[in-house]
């Protein structure tokens, strides 16, 4: 029965069936017919997973990001970054990466970050002579900063799976996120050093763009300050971020309309429904893993063969790279984290270190075929054929692997700041 359910899941996966159906059908068949579990058990466990308090923050952060996009905050942010570094070699590319990093600090959606920043920056870059395929892949790759720089939906989902405090998971992603930011900037500086530069902004122009972007720039301090000061829970800080974003859009920038607000709510509902449907059906798999004691058996296997922590990290990297080419980062989380977390603890490895390494390698799947949802999203922004961008993927994949290796060999990058803030 298990082989039948696995075969069915793989067939559905290669047929591009929505991932929540892949999870749901395969796991429910294995649980009900293979383990003789009643349907009610699956429903109860799924409901319990969806009603974790921390998950309330997911739609609220998505909403805040959508409002920032439609309320004019994203435009001011991009203008400030352009004024700051636009005159550098490859300046517009650097500005887009920096803007992605800033936008990640108040947006919980990778795809929203691509849409928000990419809509403004990508046409400008192409107009200035930047190769369109490079621009498309750069936007998709830079958006991965959202998975690390807090507040991050990836961090929230990881905390929900592992019971690690989300404040710790947020802190774990800050230094790795900054390292990834500088790696992306380095790629742009080398690759686009001969592209026509913008005229250097005057001090007055920089100061003007800074003050215009200031209401948006203080958002991360509101979110993270409330959490680490002990004044707000992550869910409460997400709600405050949404309200603040709406106030900025309506009162300060005056670009957000009630029609736009309704559209933000609609887009938030759609995105949330997708994420939560994956969570709901992915818990079916956790039931199967629990009842079959799969994590324990894998740990015993590793122990019996005398495996080292380094071998574990290498296997994790390979598995994440492989799965990331077929499915998005959220289902990869729910498919593998329960197993990886158990193995990591058996080797006395930090779960915060696991989070950063996991995101590093699973995130590469955002830009690797055949799924490469980040590539398709960024290509759609400028109306480019995604296939033409594929020739730039090896460069960024290599950068991603180098970054992941750095995170493996330097665990302090993910654990130092959480230990300070503990």
How do residues 290-318 score in pLDDT, each as one tens digit? 777 766 677 677 667 767 888 889 988 98
Q: Tell me: pLDDT of 108 over 60.
A: no
The fraction of the chain above a pLDDT of 70, given in percent, is 91
User: How many structural domains does the chain have?
Assistant: 1
Q: Tell me: pLDDT of 105 over 70.
A: no
Number of Cβ atoms within 10 Å of the Cβ of 29: 19
Q: Tell me: pLDDT of 231 over 80.
A: yes
Asked whether the bond before 151 is cis by omega within 30 degrees of 0, the reply is: yes
Q: Tell me: pLDDT of 238 over 80.
A: yes
Instruction: Please return the burial class of 24, using the count of CB atoms within 10 Å of its CB with bins 0-12, 13-18 and 19+.
Output: buried
Mean pLDDT of 87-113: 79
CA dist., res. 17 & res. 277, Å (int): 14
Predicted pLDDT at 117: 83
Predicted pLDDT at 6: 58
Predicted pLDDT at 144: 82
Three-state DSSP string of the chain: CHHHHHHHHHHHHHCCCCHHHHHHHHHHHHHHHHCCCCHHHHHHHHHHHHCCHHHHHHHHHHHHHHHHHHCCHHHHHHHHHHHHHCCCCCHHHHHHHHHHHHHHCCCCCHHHHHHHHHHHHHHHHHHCCCCHHHHHHHHHHHHHHHHCCCCCHHHHHHHHHHCCCHHHHHHHHHHHHHHHHHHHHHHHHHHCCCCCCCCCCCHHHHHHHHHHHHHHHCHHHHHHHHHHCCCCCHHHHHHHHHHHHHHHHHHHCCCCCHHHHHHHHHHHHHHHHHHHHHHHHHHHHHHHHHHHCHHHHHHHHHHHCCCCHHHHHHHHHHHHHHHHCCCCHHHHHHHHHHHHHHHHHHCCCCHHHHHHHHHHHHHHHHCCCCCCHHHHHHHHHHCCCHHHHHHHHHHHHHHHHHHHHHHHHCCHHHHHHHHHHC
Among the residue ranges 230-244, 291-305, 320-334, 362-376, the one predicted with the least confidence is 291-305
> If we measure between CA atoms, which residue out of 106, 72, 59 comes closest to residue 257?
72
Mean pLDDT of 141-165: 86
Q: What is the pLDDT of residues 52-86, one digit of tens each?
A: 888 898 888 888 888 888 898 888 988 999 999 98
Q: How many CA atoms lie within 13 A of 240 on its CB side?
A: 18
Greatest mean pLDDT among 139-148, 169-178, 271-280, 361-370:
169-178
pLDDT category of residue 381 using cuts at 50, 70 and 90: confident
Q: Tell me: pLDDT of 3 over 60.
A: no
CB 68 within 8 A of CB 104: no
Chain-centroid distance of CA 371 in Å reads 15
Mean pLDDT of 98-125: 77
CA dist., res. 86 & res. 197, Å (int): 7
What mean pLDDT is reported for the chain? 85
Domain that holds residue 81: 2-421
**Residues 6 or more apart in contact with residue 343 via CB below 8 angstroms:** 295, 298, 299, 302, 312
Is the dihedral angle over the CA atoms 256, 258, 259, 260 positive or is it negative? positive
Q: Tell me: pLDDT of 23 over 90.
A: no
pLDDT category of residue 27 using cuts at 50, 70 and 90: confident
Number of Cβ atoms within 10 Å of the Cβ of 185: 19
């Amino acid at each position: 029965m298990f082989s039948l359910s696995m075969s069915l899941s793989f067939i559905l996966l290669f047929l591009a069936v929505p991932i929540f159906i892949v999870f749901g059908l395969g796991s429910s068949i294995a649980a009900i017919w293979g383990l003789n579990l009643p349907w009610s058990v699956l429903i109860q466990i799924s409901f319990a997973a969806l009603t974790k308090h921390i998950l309330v923050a997911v739609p609220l952060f998505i909403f805040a990001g959508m409002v920032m996009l439609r309320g004019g905050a994203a435009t001011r942010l991009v203008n400030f970054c352009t004024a700051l570094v636009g005159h550098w070699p490859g300046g517009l590319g650097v500005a887009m990466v920096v803007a992605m990093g800033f936008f990640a600090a108040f947006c919980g959606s990778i795809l929203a970050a691509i849409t928000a920043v990419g809509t403004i920056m990508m046409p400008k870059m192409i107009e200035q002579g930047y190769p369109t395929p490079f621009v498309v892949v750069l936007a998709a790759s830079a958006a991965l900063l959202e998975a690390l720089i807090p507040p991050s939906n990836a961090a929230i989902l990881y905390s929900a799976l592992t019971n690690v405090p989300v404040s710790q998971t947020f802190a774990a992603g800050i230094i790795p996120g900054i390292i990834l930011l500088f790696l992306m900037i380095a790629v742009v500086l080398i690759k686009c050093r001969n592209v026509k530069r913008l005229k250097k902004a005057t001090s007055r122009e920089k100061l003007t763009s800074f003050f215009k972007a200031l209401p948006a720039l203080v958002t991360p301090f509101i979110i993270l300050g409330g959490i680490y000061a002990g004044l707000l829970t992550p869910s409460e800080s997400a709600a405050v971020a949404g309200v603040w974003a709406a106030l900025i859009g309506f009162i300060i920038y005056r670009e957000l309309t009630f029609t736009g607000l309704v559209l933000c709510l609609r887009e938030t509902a759609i995105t949330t429904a997708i994420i939560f449907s994956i969570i709901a059906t992915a818990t079916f798999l956790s039931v199967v893993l629990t009842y079959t004691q799969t994590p324990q058996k894998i740990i015993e296997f590793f122990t019996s063969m005398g495996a080292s922590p380094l071998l574990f990290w290498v296997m994790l990297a390979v598995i994440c790279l492989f799965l990331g080419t077929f499915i998005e980062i959220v289902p990869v989380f729910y498919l593998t984290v329960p197993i990886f977390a158990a193995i990591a603890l058996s080797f006395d490895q930090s779960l915060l270190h696991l989070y950063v390494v996991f995101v590093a390698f699973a995130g590469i799947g955002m830009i690797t075929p055949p799924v490469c949802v980040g590539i398709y999203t960024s290509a759609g922004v400028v109306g480019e054929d995604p296939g033409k961008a594929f020739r730039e993927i090896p460069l960024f994949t290599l950068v991603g692997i180098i970054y992941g290796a750095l995170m493996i060999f330097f665990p302090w990058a993910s654990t130092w700041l959480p230990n300070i803030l503990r």
